[in-house]
A and B are shown apart, each in its own frame.
Chain A
Amino acid sequence: MELNGAQIVIQSLKDEGVEYIFGYPGGAVLHLYDAIFQQDDVKHILVRHEQGATHAADGYARATGKPGVVLVTSGPGATNAVTGIATAYMDSIPMVIISGQVPSPVIGSDAFQEVDMVGITRPCVKHNFLVKDVTKLAETIKKAFYVATTGRPGPVVVDIPKDITDPRIKIPYKYPKKVSIRSYNPAVFGDKGQIKKAVDLLLTAQKPIIYSGGGVVLGEASKELIEFAHTLGFPVTNTLMGLGAYPATDKQFVGMLGMHGTYEANMAMHESDVIIAIGARFDDRVTGKLDEFCPYAQIIHIDIDPASISKTVKVAIPIVGQVKQVLDQMLEIIRESKKKPSKKALESWWNQIDQWRAVKCLEYDRESRLIKPQYVIEQLYEVTKGDAYVTSDVGQHQMWAAQYYPFDKPRRWINSGGLGTMGFGLPAAIGVKLAFPDSEVACVTGDASIQMCIQELSTALQYKTPVKIINLNNSYMGMVRQWQEFSYESRYSHSYMDTIPEFVKLAEAYGHVGMRIDKPEEVRPALEEAFAMKDRTVFLDILTDRTENVYPMIESGKGHHDMTLRVAPGTSTDRELA
């Protein structure tokens, strides 16, 4: 088969099994768009801003486990994509980004819409390629998918100069079935000796805890984690990125840990004597003050990325490998050993944990005359029967969604954890809805975040992706305001916008349904009405308590045991902002 460069790109994507490309055309990719026009196998989703393309592809990837694919033009198209690429990089999301580049002969001459994409993205990609020869095109694309999806996944950029996709130059096409890269051999199985040592330590633990992260989701190891936890009877805490990998409604689950984690999760971490970290990376929002992190614990760390091990927290037993395989290996050794953890020790450990649980750190003022954001999330959980895909933006609403929507399945909770990218939620929801048109998809957002990629409402209409936008509108950048309240004596410097748009009209202008809710009793009926509109995107503008803060909280510079809890349950939290 003889194809030109543009056709090779599209045919390679097809051979790779790509369903959707999220993109935006421009000069350097016109040949590619012409090739897209002449086929129907790979569907192109036209976004309204390249950042939206990257987040939509990212949401698709997080929900499906398949790589997301992005196509952008050179220069501003490429730079607009960078935020989304960095977002995917920080959360290890497999993505392939194809960017157009000015023709090879003019590279380096400051040509129109030229930017050094390979240079700009170097620190925020797993790898990137500049294609210099059309005969290397198919192989390079194969390599990009291989690198993006194996080992610790991540985004890979393929920068293609316009002359490489010249329709006049045809060459024989063959998509390689396999590629290998001599310098890239990600680990699979863990070292047996290390695993044996880890099992011995686990079986003698008195106050153990399983701390699992996004790696369990990415590594499709949820089933193994559940079996592992049930076999040992240990408490489990998840990171923000790991939510859903262990069922939140399981009795061994003690909630999320870290800055806005539960009291019981953080206290259990602090007091534990053995921690097994599984696909988690000891992020600073998890550890709090490093010097005070888990002072009594010996730590076992399973991770596919050796560089994640002992990066910030020194561990006793590192195990490099795929979490799924390593957990299987561990389970086998546990079964063979016929030993069990001390029943007595575990019983007293669980008693202690139950005392921490009794603090009820997630209680909030249920009698308030204002709409409490926590209440909205709880209602969302009930209306969607806990089975929705929930995307979020970044800030208070993100934490509330993580705290009050108990996820029981992996890949249901879609948020920008590492980079913390406002504007992520809506385009990500579109990507998820394309992947799962029959599932409910909710985007939990806030009045500040939603405005960062609001233009994608137009994309949602064009491709009929009826998502439900739950806008927790407090007229503030709530998390910024909260920090200013705690750390800057309530000097709310620029965390407020006094010209917030009328979201109902805005939604209607984009062809969707808008609803404004300002009383607690309206929340449930409005959610039910919105989710009953199966074929419409509904924007629920919910006016919530403007003063509400996210609790509990480990303030910066403090340890896990030093959490700020909210006021005692039962007392009113209605107040005016200072």
Chain B
Amino acid sequence: MKHIISILIENESGALSRVAGLFSARGYNIESLTVAPTEDPSLSRMTLVTWGSDDIIEQITKQLNKLIDVVKLIDLEDFVHIERELMMVKIKTTEHTREEIRSLAAIFRGKIIDVTPTTYVVEMTGPSSKLDAFIAAIDGDTIIEVVRSGPTGISRGEKGLHL
């Protein structure tokens, strides 16, 4: 089963490679990984999407916690949470497809953020499944490029991942 693990980690060189190295060394799956500094510049927040049985996920969280640079982590599956991913899609357009793509983007609450005579770039955020659905809805032959951030997530309510 898919799990989103949120990690607060020391914002130091090498911290990212410790996490990535752990996953490859122990043969864990890694679907996506996003990382950026937080409001506290000494900390980075990492969101990692992985999958595996409950036993494997338990080992993953234990092994991550064992890394000296990892300050705290939560498995978002244990919380009611919100998941968001950013996607930009560059689409080939012709005169008679432009309108259709515009309306499709609107249905998915996407924005067209770049226009050339022959292309659009559509920006879209949402749970990964929504982005998948948009990709499925447009003609695959017209896609020039897709770039996705990988999901990030946050728990609902007052609880949060902080020091």
Interface residues of A (CB under 8 A from B): 118-119, 122-123, 126-127, 130, 147, 181-184, 305-307, 309-311, 314
Q: Once the chains bind, are B66 and A305 in contact (CB under 8 Å)?
A: yes
With known contacts A122-B18, A122-B21, A130-B14, A307–B55 Cβ distance under 8 A:
no
Q: Once the chains bind, are B62 and A306 in contact (CB under 8 Å)?
A: yes
CB within 8 A of A123: which of B13, B25, B71?
B25
Q: Once the chains bind, are B59 and A181 in contact (CB under 8 Å)?
A: no
CB within 8 A of B14: which of A118, A123, A309, A310?
A118
User: In the complex, which residues 29-66 of chain B have their Cβ closer than 8 Å to any Cβ of chain A?
Assistant: 55, 58-59, 62-63, 65-66
Least Cβ distance of B163 to chain A in Å? Answer: 8
Q: Once the chains bind, are B70 and A310 in contact (CB under 8 Å)?
A: no
**Residues of chain B with a CB closer than 8 A to A307's CB:** 59, 62-63, 65-66
User: In the complex, which residues 101-159 of chain B have their Cβ closer than 8 Å to any Cβ of chain A?
Assistant: none
What is the CA–CA distance of A310 and B61 in the complex, to the nearest angstrom? 13
In the complex, which of the residues A147, A182, A184, A307 has the most CB atoms of chain B within 10 Å of its own CB atom?
A307
User: In the complex, which residues 1-18 of chain B have their Cβ closer than 8 Å to any Cβ of chain A?
Assistant: 9-10, 13-14, 17-18
With known contacts A306-B62, A310-B58, A126–B17 Cβ distance under 8 A:
no
Residue of A nearest to B163 (CB): A182
Residue of B nearest to A132 (CB): B13
**5 shortest interchain CB distances as A-B pairs:** A307-B62, A183-B71, A127-B68, A123-B25, A306-B62
**Residues of chain A with a CB closer than 8 A to B10's CB:** 183
What is the CA–CA distance of A118 and B18 in the complex, to the nearest angstrom? 10
What is the CA–CA distance of A305 and B10 in the complex, to the nearest angstrom? 21
Decide if B75 is an interface residue (CB 8 Å cutoff).
Answer: no
Q: Once the chains bind, are B68 and A119 in contact (CB under 8 Å)?
A: no
Q: Once the chains bind, are B62 and A122 in contact (CB under 8 Å)?
A: no
What is the CA–CA distance of A400 and B9 in the complex, to the nearest angstrom? 46
Q: Once the chains bind, are B70 and A119 in contact (CB under 8 Å)?
A: no
What is the CA–CA distance of A126 and B22 in the complex, to the nearest angstrom? 12
Residue of B nearest to A306 (CB): B62
Q: Once the chains bind, are A184 and B14 in contact (CB under 8 Å)?
A: no
Residue of B nearest to A308 (CB): B62
User: In the complex, which residues 53-101 of chain B have their Cβ closer than 8 Å to any Cβ of chain A?
Assistant: 55, 58-59, 62-63, 65-66, 68-72
Interface of A is mostly: mixed
Least Cβ distance of B95 to chain A in Å? Answer: 51
**Residues of chain A with a CB closer than 8 A to B17's CB:** 119, 122
Interface residues of B (CB under 8 A from A): 9-10, 13-14, 17-18, 21, 25, 55, 58-59, 62-63, 65-66, 68-72, 163
Q: What are 26 contact pairs spanning A and B, CB under 8 A?
A: A118-B14, A122-B14, A122-B17, A122-B18, A123-B25, A126-B68, A130-B13, A130-B14, A147-B68, A182-B163, A183-B9, A183-B10, A183-B69, A183-B70, A183-B72, A306-B62, A306-B65, A306-B66, A307-B59, A307-B62, A307-B65, A307-B66, A309-B62, A310-B55, A310-B58, A311-B59
Residue of B nearest to A311 (CB): B59
Q: Once the chains bind, are A183 and B68 in contact (CB under 8 Å)?
A: yes
Give 6 A-B pairs besides A182-B71, A184-B68 with Cβ atoms closer than 8 angstroms: A123-B21, A127-B68, A183-B69, A310-B58, A311-B59, A314-B55
What is the CA–CA distance of A307 and B163 in the complex, to the nearest angstrom? 22
Least Cβ distance of B44 to chain A in Å? Answer: 12
**Residues of chain B with a CB closer than 8 A to A122's CB:** 14, 17-18, 21
With known contacts A122-B18, A122-B21, A123-B21, A181–B58 Cβ distance under 8 A:
no
Least Cβ distance of B134 to chain A in Å? Answer: 39
**Residues of chain B with a CB closer than 8 A to A314's CB:** 55
Least Cβ distance of A86 to chain B in Å? Answer: 12
What is the CA–CA distance of A122 and B18 in the complex, to the nearest angstrom? 7
**Residues of chain A with a CB closer than 8 A to B21's CB:** 122-123
Residue of B nearest to A125 (CB): B68
In the complex, which of the residues B9, B65, B68, B71 has the most CB atoms of chain A within 10 Å of its own CB atom?
B68
**Residues of chain B with a CB closer than 8 A to A305's CB:** 66
Residue of B nearest to A143 (CB): B68
What is the CA–CA distance of A310 and B55 in the complex, to the nearest angstrom? 8
Residue of A nearest to B8 (CB): A183
What is the CA–CA distance of A181 and B9 in the complex, to the nearest angstrom? 12
What is the CA–CA distance of A314 and B90 in the complex, to the nearest angstrom? 49
**Residues of chain B with a CB closer than 8 A to A306's CB:** 62, 65-66
What is the CA–CA distance of A307 and B25 in the complex, to the nearest angstrom? 15
What is the CA–CA distance of A314 and B14 in the complex, to the nearest angstrom? 33
Residue of A nearest to B9 (CB): A183
What is the CA–CA distance of A309 and B9 in the complex, to the nearest angstrom? 24
In the complex, which of the residues A126, A183, A310 has the most CB atoms of chain B within 10 Å of its own CB atom?
A183
Least Cβ distance of B53 to chain A in Å? Answer: 12
Q: Once the chains bind, are A181 and B68 in contact (CB under 8 Å)?
A: yes
What is the CA–CA distance of A130 and B13 in the complex, to the nearest angstrom? 9
**Residues of chain A with a CB closer than 8 A to B14's CB:** 118, 122, 130
Residue of B nearest to A305 (CB): B66
What is the CA–CA distance of A15 and B65 in the complex, to the nearest angstrom? 31
Residue of B nearest to A127 (CB): B68
What is the CA–CA distance of A314 and B58 in the complex, to the nearest angstrom? 12
Least Cβ distance of B30 to chain A in Å? Answer: 16
**Residues of chain A with a CB closer than 8 A to B18's CB:** 122
**Residues of chain B with a CB closer than 8 A to A183's CB:** 9-10, 68-72
What is the CA–CA distance of A364 and B81 in the complex, to the nearest angstrom? 65
**Residues of chain B with a CB closer than 8 A to A118's CB:** 14
Residue of B nearest to A124 (CB): B25
What is the CA–CA distance of A271 and B18 in the complex, to the nearest angstrom? 42
**Residues of chain B with a CB closer than 8 A to A309's CB:** 62
What is the CA–CA distance of A182 and B71 in the complex, to the nearest angstrom? 7
Residue of B nearest to A123 (CB): B25
What is the CA–CA distance of A112 and B14 in the complex, to the nearest angstrom? 23
Residue of B nearest to A122 (CB): B21
**Residues of chain A with a CB closer than 8 A to B69's CB:** 183
**Residues of chain A with a CB closer than 8 A to B72's CB:** 183
What is the CA–CA distance of A69 and B63 in the complex, to the nearest angstrom? 26
**Residues of chain B with a CB closer than 8 A to A127's CB:** 68
What is the CA–CA distance of A313 and B26 in the complex, to the nearest angstrom? 17
Residue of A nearest to B68 (CB): A127
What is the CA–CA distance of A309 and B58 in the complex, to the nearest angstrom? 10
Residue of B nearest to A184 (CB): B68
**Residues of chain B with a CB closer than 8 A to A130's CB:** 13-14
**Residues of chain A with a CB closer than 8 A to B71's CB:** 182-183
